[in-house]
């Protein structure tokens, strides 16, 4: 019988590539709620948490990328941005504070709570955006973009951290995708909205491009007010959020997360605890993948309308509206990828497939001579790059454990994503318009690098998991194999009720066993147990254990033969109860 892979054991998070559905997970068992009740609670979380964070991210993405819409609506001419690299500087300057302040902002999110902190910064950057509509020259625009980058530095990494704290590993990519999908809706509709707002040209003596910033800033402020009311806290404190989950329901989420990876509870902050994960190379591997991904997404967001207008000859209105269809297609690809990733529990291979999709689309966009064919390339490149954003976020979130490790990882990931924005703004220079050949080669190189890093990390994770199987490595601070071999002279279950000890014969059973199994039985305390490998095809569950207990034991790691248990009952425990071990046995 082959040994179980590291992915199937509670301590082994790395390389979830091979998890598949070979084993049932114990995260869906709970002593308080049935499976149907659990799903209702989780769907309530989805409706409140994912919807609110996604809606705010929608305006976040719209507010940082509406620069290109304003550019083709008259901003470049009015502010004299054709001179030198002024437009590229305005694009780039946003990312300097955006990258620098993300680690600190993530810590503040945990300390102050996401409801107050994230809601406040959304309102603040909405005010900055309104101010951008009244700038008189390009230098004032640089100041506004710098402040915008500082404020937005807290939102995206804070949301990644918050969302990854609420969901188990194989549920998270769909949620990240819905969160980011709402952002894609912003990108899809931003061009159409900008076109409509630009028709306000001349009202109150303001140019149409100014109304783009002013109206979208007001919309952002309204979303910020909603966030102050509806955004929720981390699971261990969420019962305090307005009209959300009860304390009992929040406790269920904490138990569920702890059964999956044991990091739901708050940990005291120390600088060492926060920074020590930086020594783990995989943190930087995920960050580099995200950097390469966002180099492409930001290039498309900031320069696609300009390429459509100046490079392909479309009108201002057409170039703004033609941005929408590729992002709709990207949303379909993104959610399909997420569904496959969560269902079959794969991550790295999907990141690689999306990168290959980009590698097909980018050369078509950059080097073909037919505009219709080039526009087809836009679809492929936009879909591949944007589908990889939630895919990489899930890839990283699945492979870290611990509150402050998760906080640093989220900040590092999104910070490197900001560096990708800097690279794209430098690679797509004004003097290279309309073809932007250096930028095209840069984005192609980024996707090649993604393939190399994913391949290297996948090989390394498999090596680590094999070492964990042999007991030679502890992954994420926890032993991979939770099975303890202890002597027991007879194949019997021993139970204790008060001071009375009883023995019940135990037939050979082909079961799954894990030390966490009995932490879910409040009436019983596991003192010790013994297991040994069972041969495939041998022995089936007998009649001396309840169905529920057998199902509990089945929920983890590998097929094992139970040789014996020693259980201690708490006072008042009734034999033959629903978790009965002695007496009242059901036939299985």
Does 565 have pLDDT greater than 70? no
Give the residue-averaged pLDDT of 535-544. 36
Give the residue-averaged pLDDT of 32-49. 90
Percent of residues, the chain, with pLDDT higher than 90? 35
Residues 525, 567 contacting (CB under 8 angstroms): yes
For the chain, the residue count is 588
Percent of residues, the chain, with pLDDT higher than 70? 72
Instruction: Output the CATH code of domain 36-261+272-466.
Output: 1.20.1250.20
Name the nearest CA neighbour of 152 among 112, 205, 98. Answer: 98
Place of tokens 């046995």: 585
Does 354 have pLDDT greater than 90? yes
Give dist(CA 561, CA 35) in Å, integer. Answer: 27
Q: What is the pLDDT of residue 477?
A: 47
Most confident listed range (395-399, 429-433, 505-509) = 395-399
- Has this prediction a pTM greater than 0.75? no
Q: What is the pLDDT of residue 331?
A: 87
Give the residue-averaged pLDDT of 332-345. 88
Where do you find CATH 1.20.1250.20 in the chain? Answer: 36-261+272-466
- β-sheet bridge partners, residue 567: 495, 526
Q: What is the pLDDT of residue 515?
A: 37
Please provide the average confidence, as pLDDT, over all residues in the chain.
Answer: 75
Place of tokens 């894609």: 184
Name the nearest CA neighbour of 264 among 247, 251, 282, 249. Answer: 251
Of 95-109, 267-281, 407-421, which gets the smallest average pLDDT? Answer: 267-281
Confidence bin at 580 (pLDDT 50/70/90)? very low
Residues 419, 99 contacting (CB under 8 angstroms): yes
Q: How many CB atoms lie within 10 A of CB 347?
A: 26
Give the residue-averaged pLDDT of 355-370. 93
Q: What is the pLDDT of residue 265?
A: 62
Q: What is the pLDDT of residue 288?
A: 96
Residues 521, 490 contacting (CB under 8 angstroms): no
pLDDT digits (tens, 9 = 90+) for 71-115: 888 899 899 888 778 888 898 899 899 889 988 898 899 889 999
Does 539 have pLDDT greater than 80? no
Q: Which residues contact 76 (CB under 8 A, 6 or more apart)?
A: 82, 87
């Amino acid at each position: 019988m082959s040994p179980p892979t590291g992915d199937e054991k509670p301590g082994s998070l790395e390389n979830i590539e091979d998890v598949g559905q070979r084993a049932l997970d114990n995260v869906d068992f709970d002593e308080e709620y049935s499976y149907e009740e659990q799903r209702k609670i989780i769907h309530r979380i989805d409706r409140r948490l994912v919807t609110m964070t996604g809606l705010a991210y929608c305006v976040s993405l719209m507010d940082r990328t509406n620069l290109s819409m304003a550019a083709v609506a008259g901003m470049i001419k009015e502010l004299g941005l054709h001179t030198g690299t002024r437009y590229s500087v305005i694009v780039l300057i946003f990312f300097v504070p955006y990258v620098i302040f993300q680690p600190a902002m993530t810590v503040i999110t945990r300390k102050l709570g996401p409801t107050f902190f994230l809601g406040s910064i959304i309102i603040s950057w909405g005010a900055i955006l309104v101010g951008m509509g009244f700038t008189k020259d390009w230098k004032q625009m640089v100041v506004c973009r710098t402040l915008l980058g500082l404020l937005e530095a807290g939102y995206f990494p804070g949301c990644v951290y918050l969302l990854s704290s609420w969901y188990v590993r194989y549920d998270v990519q769909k949620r990240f995708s819905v969160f980011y999908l709402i952002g894609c809706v912003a990108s899809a509709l931003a061009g159409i909205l900008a076109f409509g707002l630009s028709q306000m040209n001349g009202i109150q003596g303001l140019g149409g491009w100014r109304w783009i910033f002013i109206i979208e800033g007001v919309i952002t402020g309204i979303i910020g007010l909603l966030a102050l009311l509806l955004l929720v806290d981390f699971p261990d404190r969420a019962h305090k959020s307005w009209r959300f989950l009860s304390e009992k329901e929040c406790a269920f989420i904490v138990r569920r997360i702890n059964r999956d990876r044991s990091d739901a509870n708050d940990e005291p902050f120390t600088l060492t605890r926060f920074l020590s994960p930086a020594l783990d190379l995989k943190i930087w591997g995920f960050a580099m993948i995200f950097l390469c991904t966002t180099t492409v997404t930001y290039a498309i967001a900031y320069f696609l309308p300009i390429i459509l207008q100046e490079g392909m000859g479309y009108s201002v209105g057409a170039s703004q509206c033609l941005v929408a269809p590729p992002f709709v297609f990207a949303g379909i690809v993104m959610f399909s990828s997420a569904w496959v990733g969560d269902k079959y529990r794969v991550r790295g291979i999907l990141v690689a497939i999306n990168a290959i999709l980009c590698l097909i689309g980018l050369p078509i966009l950059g080097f073909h001579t037919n505009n219709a064919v080039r526009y087809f390339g836009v679809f492929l490149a936009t879909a591949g790059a944007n589908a990889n954003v939630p895919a990489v976020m899930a890839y990283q979130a699945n492979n870290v454990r611990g509150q402050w490790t998760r906080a640093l990882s989220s900040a590092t990931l999104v910070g490197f994503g900001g560096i990708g924005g800097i690279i794209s703004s430098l690679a797509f220079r004004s003097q290279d318009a309309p073809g932007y050949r250096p930028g095209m080669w840069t984005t192609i190189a980024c996707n090649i690098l993604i393939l190399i890093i994913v391949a290297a990390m996948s090989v390394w994770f498999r090596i680590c998991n094999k070492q964990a199987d042999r007991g030679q490595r502890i992954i994420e601070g926890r032993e991979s194999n939770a099975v303890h071999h202890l002597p027991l002279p007879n194949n019997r279950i021993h139970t204790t009720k008060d001071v009375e000890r009883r023995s019940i014969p135990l037939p050979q059973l082909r079961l799954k066993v894990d030390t966490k199994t009995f932490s879910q039985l409040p009436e019983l305390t596991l003192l010790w147990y013994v297991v040994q490998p069972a041969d495939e095809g041998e022995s089936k569950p007998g009649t001396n254990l309840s169905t529920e207990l057998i199902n509990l034991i089945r929920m983890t790691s590998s097929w094992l033969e139970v040789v014996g248990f020693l259980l201690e009952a708490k006072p008042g425990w009734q034999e033959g109860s629903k978790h009965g071990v002695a007496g009242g046995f059901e036939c299985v």
